[in-house]
A = this chain, B = another copy of it.
Amino acid sequence: MKRYEALAADIEESIRAGVLRPGDRLPSVRHTCASRKLSASTVFQAFYLLEARGLIRARERSGYYVCAVVGQAPPEPDHVSAPQDASVALDVSELVFGVLESSMSREVVPFGSAFPAPNLFPLQRLGRSLATAARMLQPRDTVDDLTQGHAALRRQIALRYLADGINVQADDVVITNGALEALNLCLAVATRPGDTVLIESPTFYAALQALERLGLHAVEVPTHPRDGMDLAALEHAIQRHQPRACWLMPNFQNPLGSLMPLEKKQALVALLAQHQIPLIEDDVYAQLYFGKSRPLPAKAYDTEGLVMHCCSFSKSLAPGYRIGWAVPGRYTREVARLKLSTTLSTPTPTQLALVDYLEHGGFDKHLRQLRQALATRLSQFTQAVARYFPEGTRATRPSGGYFLWVELPAGCDALALHRQALAQGISLAPGPIFSASRAFTHCIRLNYGHDWNERTEAALARLGALAAAQLGPRAEPYQP
């Protein structure tokens, strides 16, 4: 992290923690230079960054002030979810497909999208790496290393784990067609039809679909929108339901954006190890952190090979390249074999392109820009939700990723809102698609990872008005 970024992160933390409050004046540039032993230009860069994120604002001849950001954000949802304590067969896939397929048009405002704006990614630079890879491709490359993926790419991935202090070697990695294939392979290897799997509540809809397809039962475990699955509830569910696996997302969970603290991850891994339950860890958003460093995955605490860590470059670098991977611990051979007999291998040219990019492309610089763009959009988005959504609306404050989880006032109907908004050219992801019991009927997931402009703001205003209209004639948009 560069010096100005470190300074900005410190100030941001002070704002988030309430040390600096809305309306407070920041220490002057001169003062900050002296106290921090930094150049004026570094301090200015930090202030510009915070201003771009909507956290501070300059006042003419008076210095920088903390914006009313905290006041302008809707209150956070602050209760753990309360799913029913039962092992249920799944029947939500039709609903999920219906919602996803209805939202695919290029014309809609993509609040329902699962992807951030594709223009956030270095596709031109990747294209050069692809051209290089194509030129260097040896015929034998197309038939070598079929099982686990190309050795050079696995090595690059292992190097990044090493940099994060996680013990993963190249031979532990199985390259897949995106993280979705990795997750599906791990689930299929860890379970047999009829088994029970523990999931978060709400949970990523693809997990629900995978369970349904494999004939598995789900137990939804109470989950907090800020720090993830409740471990006491998890322990209870283990005792009661004898699950065969647990699938979750400790970092920037989809749809909540929740982040499980380190000690909690450690306790999670220990608890599952005690019962010898494999953990399928979906970690695709880890690189999109707004804090100081990549939050460690649960895999970092795995001493028994029970954590099946799944990841990809689709959300951090190369959408459309479909390169993901699994680090399946003691299940590595089984996962590799299942991959070999279902999709054989991941394409060679795209794997080699990523090797070239990771070696020469400037991945870390790209990631810094990407994180900053997403953090800025989150701030703009949150403020607009506060401005345009009806009173009683709550919204999460994710510290990474690009999803905002919005709890509308009781009485709102997310599925109806989905249909109404779509008729006006706006997509969203309604809460029930994230739940085996179609709960979260008044919740929606909004994607803030797209361009922020007048059209976006108008669409959010429209959405807020539609939600307010659902509450009857007396409900008015919230005016702070």
Residues of A within 8 A of B (CB): 93, 97, 100-101, 104, 106, 113, 115, 117-119, 121, 123, 126-128, 130-131, 133-135, 137, 139-144, 146-147, 177-178, 180-181, 184, 193, 206, 209-210, 213, 215, 319-323, 337-338, 340-350, 353
Q: Which of A134, A135, A184 has the most C-beta atoms of chain B within 10 angstroms of its own C-beta? A: A134
Do B343 and A141 have beta carbons less than 8 Å apart? no
Q: How far is the CB of A223 from chain B (nearest CB, A)?
A: 22
Do A346 and B322 have beta carbons less than 8 Å apart? yes
Do B320 and A141 have beta carbons less than 8 Å apart? yes
Do A118 and B143 have beta carbons less than 8 Å apart? yes
Q: How far is the CB of A191 from chain B (nearest CB, A)?
A: 13
> Chain B: which residue is nearest A209 at the CB level?
B341
Do A142 and B319 have beta carbons less than 8 Å apart? yes
Q: How far is the CB of A171 from chain B (nearest CB, A)?
A: 14
| Residue in B104, B213, B346 whose CB lies within 8 Å of A341 | B213
Do A140 and B128 have beta carbons less than 8 Å apart? no
| Residue in B100, B123, B134 whose CB lies within 8 Å of A131 | B134
Q: Which of A118, A141, A319 has the most C-beta atoms of chain B within 10 angstroms of its own C-beta? A: A118
> Chain B: which residue is nearest A346 at the CB level?
B322
Do B344 and A178 have beta carbons less than 8 Å apart? yes
| Residue in B104, B121, B128, B347 whose CB lies within 8 Å of A134 | B128
Do A134 and B126 have beta carbons less than 8 Å apart? yes
A-B contact pairs, 8 of them (CB 8 A): A118-B143, A123-B137, A123-B139, A127-B134, A177-B347, A209-B341, A213-B338, A213-B341
Do B134 and A118 have beta carbons less than 8 Å apart? no
- Chain B contacts for A127, CB-based, 8 A: 131, 134-135, 137, 349
- Chain B contacts for A97, CB-based, 8 A: 337, 340-341
Q: How far is the CB of A350 from chain B (nearest CB, A)?
A: 5
- Chain B contacts for A337, CB-based, 8 A: 97
| Residue in B106, B141, B206, B342 whose CB lies within 8 Å of A140 | B106
| Residue in B100, B215, B320 whose CB lies within 8 Å of A142 | B320
- Chain B contacts for A144, CB-based, 8 A: 106
Q: How far is the CA of A100 from the CA of B337 in the complex (A)?
A: 10
Do B343 and A178 have beta carbons less than 8 Å apart? yes
> Chain B: which residue is nearest A130 at the CB level?
B134
- Chain B contacts for A113, CB-based, 8 A: 143
Q: How far is the CA of A346 from the CA of B346 in the complex (A)?
A: 10
> Chain B: which residue is nearest A184 at the CB level?
B342
Do B344 and A322 have beta carbons less than 8 Å apart? yes
Q: How far is the CA of A143 from the CA of B184 in the complex (A)?
A: 21
- Chain B contacts for A177, CB-based, 8 A: 177, 343-344, 346-347
Do B181 and A343 have beta carbons less than 8 Å apart? yes
